[in-house]
Structure 1
């Protein structure tokens, strides 16, 4: 393979997105069955889908009626391509209509938990109960299955709730097997994948590592690579993959902007380097960031200052790496980014830019400093990134680190950012994280921002004396993708210990409060 040409990804199961809120969830469930999947928009033509050489295709649900003007449709040619297809909800109805079945409104909508009766197990419903709870969300229903299809299940509002044509390897269900509320949903998906499509469950973390190492070596060749290492799971796992592939051709740049949590800088410098052997350049920019932030309390202003200073510091470090490489006759051609698959999907599924622009998640680089991107995680979801990190030997403390914003503690201080306030927040945050970990809860929640209300003071009593201290806010949330979130119901005894320790050990704090707002309407971070 010629240099700089990425190795191909596995042949995918394509999830065709008809606008459902569950398209990403379907792709995740397929991957949980150890089969590789990708999402494509319903606007893809049959030719575009087949150009991806799919091993199977899943048609997702969607909000439209198949009879509405302008509603998405399925080209019947798709079903003559010889590729196994599973239709779900809207995709099920669109399949039925395209193949000559009858879809109509019954006047009896089905939303939420719905019991279906299995009348013929077939491939999809083999070894599942005759009566089972599923999760429905539809107004239209399939009244008659297309010619050649066997009806597998019915419900009170769906005369045809599931069907299949085993000879043509075409299958469909009215319900959402991808959601946990469908009691046997994952079994249905796996029956389609393993039996209907004849796929093997061989897409695993070890195979991902092997494939990506080969891809990185093919892309990079003997060139030098630079990576902006934040200490978070995404950049750490991306760096570890590249390090495994090309060794000391990689230089990681870690910018300590002074806005990190307690022990994070030391952990990156000590544990990550020890585990991976990566070449690390550490830039101490703490004073620079504090000076730039002095006197600024507006959250957007703080974000812009932190982003601007990061760009400048990283730019200087990158130039040093380039100069050092040039002195040895090498050329730095590539920049590693920890882009994940949801980032790709949410940006329209684009193929990615060839050169760094200011909007990239490393903070951006100037246009005259050009690198090609190495994005070894761009086909992975967050949970898959963690599995790959463990496979690579990245320390568990980094792999399981909760999401942490790029601006760091700078946006968890409501008010001006000072060295003193950072130390107060670091101490309170360290206590909260320690106690959550002791209670075995640090992996049960998505993240727990700890916020210092620096511009707020309240009266308290400590040591028989009056105090006028700052409140600390605990913001524990549960989420799958951070798009929506709910506050986590932490045990009262854990909250009590956290509150007592913070008010006893952090003298500037005399009150600890709990944020019980979901997202929406609140965001996860306060600023």
Structure 2
């Protein structure tokens, strides 16, 4: 069984990049919003707190109870996450004299700390924040600085807790991946044994166990997300998967038939529904883009619902979508 990392999302634009870097290290991770964390914390080996557009000094600061994590599991705070750990554990975060955005260099590094193993002084990092940590908690020590940011990184003594005010997940942080590797593999002792193939195999087994011999209906868009979902479902339940691919009249020339042929070539049980005239007629004289979006959305639901009712005995509705959509739907 793979060892997992929990990424708690505070709304950062870079959260998905954190997950990508973690998985590039062959470690499985999951992103969950700070305000809807319905998971078993015991099932995760380490925790990462993301950045955020909010300030820990603000009345609108995003709060999360760290009592079951801090000092219990290895914890890494990135930007807002680092400031949150410091500010609400006896430290002090203040507004920076100027917004710190862009490239910077670590002018001082504590090479005895395992977080910076293999890094050299001067390595480039990426800053993106308007607050800075003025004072650390009493039981913390500074382990890296830049010319402008004294407490660019800190650790809490006798706890596997770290904070960094830069973003190791972005390309511009040259040794960012090494820092994440140090935290996850060297400090948290996570085995890097996760692969996409392992995820695929596990997902197919879970579908078989959950769905059994029931019928499943899936709407296909022609895109990557719904297609991946269809292939995984097909491998799990075969012809009990019923796919519906609707032509809304807005596809490129000959795309409907081309995509339909590809789906059939994959062995999918798919029905193509050409409702292009229906959609185009509804959109006639509709000029406002937002209104067009609503018309298209409602029309698709009506068509899909009509076709779904023709499939007798279906008990499950499947959806393939991207990770950010899942996070936004439950946050």
Give the TM-score normalised by the residue count of structure 1: 0.56
1:218 is matched with which residue?
Answer: 209
1:250: how far off?
A: 0.9
Q: Is the 8 A contact 2:229 2:320 kept in 1?
A: yes
Relative distance call for 1:281 and 1:120 in structure 2 (3 A) is same
The yes-or-no answer on 1:180 pairing with 2:162 is: no
Q: Deviations over 1:440-493 (max 9, x none)?
A: xxxxxxxxxxxxxxxxxxxxxxxxxxxxxxxxxxxxxxxxxxxxxxxxxxxxxx
Residue 229 of structure 1, aligned match among 203, 220, 230: 220
2:23 is matched with which residue?
Answer: 31
2:329 is matched with which residue?
Answer: 347
1:64: how far off?
A: 4.8
Residue 264 of structure 1, aligned match among 249, 255, 263: 255
State the distance in 2 between where 1:141 and 1:107 align. Answer: 12
Q: Is the 8 A contact 1:11 1:52 kept in 2?
A: no
1:291: how far off?
A: 4.5
Relative distance call for 1:290 and 1:18 in structure 2 (3 A) is closer
3-state secondary structure, aligned to 2:83: helix
State the distance in 2 between where 1:67 and 1:85 align. Answer: 21
Q: Is the 8 A contact 2:217 2:243 kept in 1?
A: yes
3-state secondary structure, aligned to 1:175: coil
Q: Deviations over 1:136-187 (max 9, x none)?
A: 224322444642x553212223333223358532222121212222222122
State the distance in 1 between where 2:270 and 2:326 align. Answer: 28
2:160 is matched with which residue?
Answer: 169
Q: Is the 8 A contact 1:143 1:159 kept in 2?
A: no
State the distance in 2 between where 1:289 and 1:109 align. Answer: 48
Residue 246 of structure 1, aligned match among 226, 237, 240: 237
Relative distance call for 1:79 and 1:159 in structure 2 (3 A) is farther
State the distance in 2 between where 1:169 and 1:270 align. Answer: 54
Relative distance call for 1:91 and 1:221 in structure 2 (3 A) is same
1:211: how far off?
A: 1.6
User: Which has more strand, going by share of residues?
Assistant: 2
Unaligned runs of 5+ residues in structure 2 are: none
Q: Is the 8 A contact 1:116 1:155 kept in 2?
A: yes
Relative distance call for 1:270 and 1:166 in structure 2 (3 A) is farther
Correspondences of 1:488-507 after superposition (within 5 Å): none
The yes-or-no answer on 1:13 pairing with 2:2 is: no
State the distance in 2 between where 1:305 and 1:94 align. Answer: 43
Q: Is the 8 A contact 1:151 1:164 kept in 2?
A: yes
3-state secondary structure, aligned to 1:317: helix
Q: Which has the larger radius of gyration?
A: 1
3-state secondary structure, aligned to 1:16: strand
The yes-or-no answer on 1:310 pairing with 2:292 is: no
Give the TM-score normalised by the residue count of structure 2: 0.85
The yes-or-no answer on 1:86 pairing with 2:86 is: no
Relative distance call for 1:103 and 1:257 in structure 2 (3 A) is closer
The yes-or-no answer on 1:140 pairing with 2:122 is: no
Higher relative contact order (CA 8 A, sep 6+): 2
Q: Give the superposed CA RMSD.
A: 3.1
Relative distance call for 1:156 and 1:143 in structure 2 (3 A) is farther
Residue 195 of structure 1, aligned match among 186, 198, 216: 186
State the distance in 2 between where 1:101 and 1:309 align. Answer: 55
